[in-house]
Chains A and B, each alone.
Chain A
């Protein structure tokens, strides 16, 4: 065989290999990712994982896990633990799944820490107002007082050994809405990490959870919802850069009785103060928690919103690795020490205070 011909074939193959590597280089530069949006836990959930097929497999496993948690903790599914606990209130203890037991236990710990600002037994009040139902209304003071008598997290009895939950009085009810999404997020993150996923971005109905940073090497840039987006026309008022952390916000802007608001300007929103039976009114319109655990962030953002800036910050500054943002009705933004210098203001309708 002609030696030159062999050389030529070799040269051609080298070019071919170069071209192939150019193509794959191009693809990996675009950062291959898999994502999925689905409806669960009364909200929309989006998961985006970066990586190959094993990352996609892990994503699907995480989705199944979230749906499993929903099945136990939804208050509308007839065979969920929460439904059974509420039905057996004042009658008998109910044996529950380990997940449910853990979440309720954690919620009660937060009830104690916040001196009842976070109270999962606030359900009778939530139902009375019906903010999330078709017919929300402002109840009378008498009606509220009557239901308030049923609100007390200390009347939830846990039996660690038999994994049972008992509500001491008939008419009591629990709702894990303020904390279950946080737990589901932590579980999803655990599954993804165990499968070796290095970068991921999850959003559970507005709760943002991240693994690693952005694959481009920078932290994830997460906007904090502008609570008065309707007035300002801006999507967010601040941006925070995070990696391996979660950002959870609460506020009066998500759900409120619109008819009353239009008539009187009074915003009866969906976050109730378990002590008064009225929507929380300690001067805040939005609160945000940044931390590593999503169940903690979920609980603490509600607690901060209900307690208000002064009391809430006193509590949060005692905790490790938890940062917070509080927005007052006159658009002043208070932030914890750890965020000073790193929070980026993204619209000038708000004033970040020192």
Chain B
């Protein structure tokens, strides 16, 4: 009997079914975005607290090395190198050069900061394995 009624849907029912389909689609989309957030690693560059650039990198296999020059707009710059070895700042015209001296970063949660230029490059992503941490005290 129920089947019989489904064969002849009324116009109001159709709207409801359409709505449900859209909802299913939306929730699937939500699930997909969340799973992306969890698996991918992103190198993010920030100036004065604002994200100005980000590069998605794969955690497996070789990464083609690239150098990115970041200008603050006031004649200040930091040059970031992304490669299979990790992420480092290879040159900058800040007075203390602490960023250039910072060790290469490799895992999510790590960052290199240049305080005079208010510059940060950080690795974002889900940190994995036995040595995964939420943060590091330094």
A residues sitting closer than 8 Å to B (CB atoms) are 4-5, 8-9, 12, 15-16, 19-20, 22-23, 26-27, 30, 36-39, 42-44, 132-134, 201, 203, 206-208, 214, 220-225, 229-230, 233, 235-236, 239, 247-249, 251, 254-255, 258, 288, 346
Q: Besides A206-B137, A236-B131, 11 other CB < 8 A contacts? A: A12-B16, A16-B20, A19-B27, A39-B48, A43-B113, A133-B95, A221-B133, A223-B131, A236-B133, A255-B98, A288-B137
The residues in B between 18 and 62 inclusive whose CB is less than 8 angstroms from any CB of A are 19-20, 23-24, 26-27, 30-31, 34, 37, 46, 48-49
Q: Which of B10, B12, B101, B136 contacts A208 (CB under 8 A)?
A: B136
Chain B residue contacts of A236, Cβ below 8 A: 131, 133, 136
29 contacts between A and B (CB under 8 A): A8-B5, A9-B16, A12-B17, A12-B20, A15-B20, A20-B23, A23-B26, A30-B37, A39-B115, A39-B118, A43-B115, A44-B113, A201-B134, A206-B136, A206-B137, A221-B132, A222-B133, A222-B134, A223-B135, A225-B136, A233-B104, A236-B133, A239-B133, A249-B138, A251-B138, A254-B98, A254-B138, A255-B96, A288-B137
User: Would A38 and B49 be within 8 Å (CB), given that A30-B34, A44-B115 are in contact?
Assistant: yes
Chain B residue contacts of A39, Cβ below 8 A: 48-49, 115, 118
Chain A residue contacts of B23, Cβ below 8 A: 16, 19-20, 23
User: Would A134 and B136 be within 8 Å (CB), given that A5-B10, A346-B131 are in contact?
Assistant: no
A207 touches B137 (CB 8 A): yes
B135 touches A203 (CB 8 A): yes
How many angstroms between the C-alpha atoms of A247 and B138 in the bound complex? 9
Chain A residue contacts of B101, Cβ below 8 A: 258
B103 touches A23 (CB 8 A): no
Chain B residue contacts of A222, Cβ below 8 A: 133-137
CB distance from B88 to the nearest CB of A (A): 11
How many angstroms between the C-alpha atoms of A182 and B39 in the bound complex? 35
Q: Which of B27, B34, B49, B103 contacts A37 (CB under 8 A)?
A: B49
Cβ of B76 within 8 Å of any chain A Cβ, yes or no, is no
B residues sitting closer than 8 Å to A (CB atoms) are 1-2, 5, 10, 12-13, 16-17, 19-20, 23-24, 26-27, 30-31, 34, 37, 46, 48-49, 95-98, 101, 103-107, 110, 113, 115, 118, 120, 130-138
Chain B residue contacts of A132, Cβ below 8 A: 96
User: Which among B10, B37, B137 has the highest number of chain A CB atoms within 10 Å?
Assistant: B137
CB distance from B125 to the nearest CB of A (A): 14
How many angstroms between the C-alpha atoms of A98 and B117 in the bound complex? 32
Closest to B114 in A: A44
B24 touches A19 (CB 8 A): yes
A23 touches B30 (CB 8 A): yes
How many angstroms between the C-alpha atoms of A16 and B27 in the bound complex? 12
CB distance from A244 to the nearest CB of B (A): 14
Chain A residue contacts of B24, Cβ below 8 A: 19
Interface of chain B, helix or strand or loop or mixed? mixed
How many angstroms between the C-alpha atoms of A16 and B132 in the bound complex? 39
User: Would A224 and B136 be within 8 Å (CB), given that A23-B30, A239-B131, A346-B131 are in contact?
Assistant: yes
B136 touches A23 (CB 8 A): no
Chain B residue contacts of A42, Cβ below 8 A: 115
B34 touches A235 (CB 8 A): no
User: Which among B13, B26, B103 has the highest number of chain A CB atoms within 10 Å?
Assistant: B103
Closest to B12 in A: A9
How many angstroms between the C-alpha atoms of A255 and B95 in the bound complex? 13
Chain B residue contacts of A43, Cβ below 8 A: 113, 115
Q: Which 10 A-B pairs have the closest CB atoms?
A: A225-B138, A206-B138, A223-B136, A223-B133, A247-B137, A229-B103, A12-B16, A134-B95, A208-B137, A23-B27
Chain B residue contacts of A214, Cβ below 8 A: 134
B49 touches A36 (CB 8 A): yes
B27 touches A26 (CB 8 A): yes
Chain B residue contacts of A255, Cβ below 8 A: 96, 98
